[in-house]
Amino acid sequence: MDHRQPPPSQPFADAERPDQPDSLGRSVRFDHCPWLFEKEATEEERAAQRERQGSLDGDSEVGERCYVAESAAVLPDLLRLGDDSYIAAHAYVTGTLTTGTDCTLNPFTVARGTVSLGTGVRIGAHTSLLAFNHSMAPDRPIHRQPQTSRGITVGDDVWIGSHVVIVDGVTIGDHCVIGAGAVVTKDVPAWTVAAGNPARPIRDRREPTDPKRETGGTGAGTAAPEGLARFADAARAQAAGLLARCWDGDRYVDRPGVAPTVRAHCDAVEIADLLLSAAPAQLDRAEHIERLASLQDRDTGLVPELGERLPPMDADGFTGEGPALYHVLSVGYALDLLGGALPQPISGVRDMTAHQLVARLERLPWRDGAWEAGAWIDSWATAAHWNRRHPDGAALVPGTLEALFGWLLTRADPWTGMWGTPSTGAGRLQVVNGYYRLTRGSFAQFGVPVPHPERVVDAVLDHARDTRYFGAGRENACNVLDVAHPLWLCARQLSGGGGSDGGYRSAEIRGWAEQRLTAALARWQDGKGFGFGPGTAGPGPEPGLQGTEMWLAIVWLLADLLGRSDALGYRPRGVHRPEPATGA
C-alpha cells in the first residue's frame, strides 16, 4: 500500500466509482485518491496538474510529487506545500498553510488562518483546522466583532482522524493521534492519543495498548471484534447499576433529577432484556407487566404520558401527535419482552377503513414534515400489529394493511426510494429520519421488501455526509440510527440477507459504519451509559436510559453492517429489533 494512502478504517466516500471524468477531461479519481497520481497519471494529466499548481492564488510554492485537487478551493495568502504532499477533493484552504513533507489533507478538509504542519501529518476527511476566532463582547453584533488569530501548530508524525475540529491557538505535539470526531480545544503533548469532545488524553502512544484505558474502563476503544466483546462485557456488568441509578424509588426516570416517564420504564425493560436477559430488578416481572398494562386508556387503547391526558383524537379515531404515538411502540414492545401484551386493542386502528386510512395518508405533512408523517405510519402500523395479535380476535377492517402498503409502494419516489421532500434549510434530514420511522413500522416490522433499495442507499449516504448532523460533536442517537437502519435494511435486501459485504456501495457503507461505530463506543460513560446526544431533539447529551437503549441498538446495527455483531453477544428484540416481528 502506498505510504500516503489513508488507513483502511477511513475509506473515501466517493472512491467507489472514481473513473468518471470531470468537465476538464481529467479523472476525478486523482482528486479523491491523490496518492495514486504519482504512479498512474499520464503525461497529459501531469501537465494539467502543473498548470493547476501554477495557477494557485497568493504566494504559493508546491514541492515535488505533490497534488492539488481541481475541486479543492485553495485560496491562500501563503502556501508552502512540502514534497510528496497533497490537498484532496473539496478541501478549503485560506490564510497561511505551511507543511513539511508527506502531509495529506484528505477530502473536505478545512484549513483556515495560520496553520503549520510538520512532516508526515495525516488529516482525515471532513476535519477542520480553524486558526482564527471572533471576539464576542456584548457591545456589538457578532458579525462586527474583530477577529483574532494565534495559529495552529501540528508536529511531526501526527494522525488526525475524520470529522475532527481543532480550534485556534492549539499546538499538537509530535507523534500524536487524534481520534475521529474529537474537538481539540487545548494543547496536546507529544505521543498522546486523544479523543472526545472536548478531546482528552487516552494514553501515551509509546505504551503497550491497554484496552481498558481507551474509553475510561470499558476497553471499547476499537470496533474490532475483541473491542466489541469488551464493550458488551462491560455494559452487561454495569447494566444493573445503570437501571438502579434511574429508579427514583417508585418509577423510572431517564436520568437522575428528571420526572418519571412511560418511556423511561420501557427503556429500562429493553436494556435489561438486551444485556441481562431478564426484567429490571426493581420490580418482579408480573409487577412490570401490571404497571405498564394499567396505563392503557380504556376507550382508545392508547397510553398517555404519566399524569397527562391523551390529546384529542382525530376524526378517524386515532391520535396524530404527542407521546401516545411512540408509546404504541415502546409500551407494546416492553410488554412483549416481559411476556405480556396490551390488554385491549387500539380502537382507532381497529375500526379504521381502508378509505379512511388512504385519506389520512394523503393528509400527512409530506412536503414539510416527512418525519412526522413517517412517525404516524410507524405508530399506526405497530398498532395494527398488536391488534392482529390480540387474544379477543380484534384485528383490522379487511383491506387496511393492503391499502397501507399499496399506497406506500405507489407513492415512493423512484429517484430516492423515499417519501417526502428535502428542504433548503434542513436538507434530507426530515426525509431520511421519516424513512426510518415509516419503514420500521411497516416494511421492516411486517417483513415486506422496500422499494428501490439502491436509490435509498444513494440518498442515505448523501445525507450521511451532511456535516450539520454528522460533523464533529453534532451526532445524536436519532440521526445515526436513522441512517444505520435504512443502510442495514437495504443492504440485507440487496444481498439476499447476507449483509453489506460485497453488495451495492458496500465499501462506503462499511466505511461509514466503521467510523460511526468507533465514535459510538467512545461515548460510553462508565456507570451511566450513553447520552442521547447534542441538539434540541431528545433528552440531550447527559447519559440516561433513552440514550443507552438507542445507542446499544445502534452499536448492534453498525457492528452487523461490518459482520461483527456476534462479538457483542446480544441482539435487539424490542422496538429496534432487526427481524420482522413474530406473527407480523
What residues are labeled active site? 134
Do 154 and 170 meet the contact criterion of CB atoms below 8 Å apart? Answer: no
Q: How many C-beta atoms surround the C-beta of residue 147 within 10 A?
A: 10
Which residue shows C-alpha cell 412517525? 375
Query: Most distant CA pair in the chain: distance in Å?
Result: 81
Q: At what angle do helices 323-338 and 262-276 cross, to 10 degrees?
A: 30
Which residue from 330, 320, 268, 328 is spatially nearest to 297, judged by alpha carbons? 328
How many Å apart are CA 53 and CA 62, to the nearest integer? 7
Which residue from 429, 440, 446, 439 is spatially nearest to 537, judged by alpha carbons? 429
How many Å apart are CA 274 and CA 428, to the nearest integer? 32
How many Å apart are CA 227 and CA 384, to the nearest integer? 40
Which residue from 48, 83, 88 is spatially nearest to 65, judged by alpha carbons? 83
Which residue from 240, 220, 242 is spatially nearest to 230, judged by alpha carbons? 220
Three-state DSSP state, 184: strand
Cross-strand partners of 203: 193
Phi then psi for residue 307, to 5 deg, are 75, 5
How many Å apart are CA 194 and CA 188, to the nearest integer? 8
CA terminus-to-terminus distance, the chain: 49
The two beta strands, 147-148 and 73-81, are unpaired
Ramachandran assignment for 25, one of left (phi > 0), alpha (psi -120 to 50 degrees), beta (any other) = left
Handedness of CA 342, 348, 353, 357 (dihedral sign): negative
In one-letter notation, the amino acid at residue 500 is S
Of the CA atoms within 13 Å of residue 505, those in its CB half-sphere come to 22
Q: Which three cell numbers stand for residue 343?
A: 390488554
Do 381 and 446 meet the contact criterion of CB atoms below 8 Å apart? Answer: yes
Q: At what angle do helices 545-561 and 262-276 cross, to 10 degrees?
A: 40
Phi then psi for residue 356, to 5 deg, are -65, -40
In this structure, what DSSP letter does residue 527 have? T
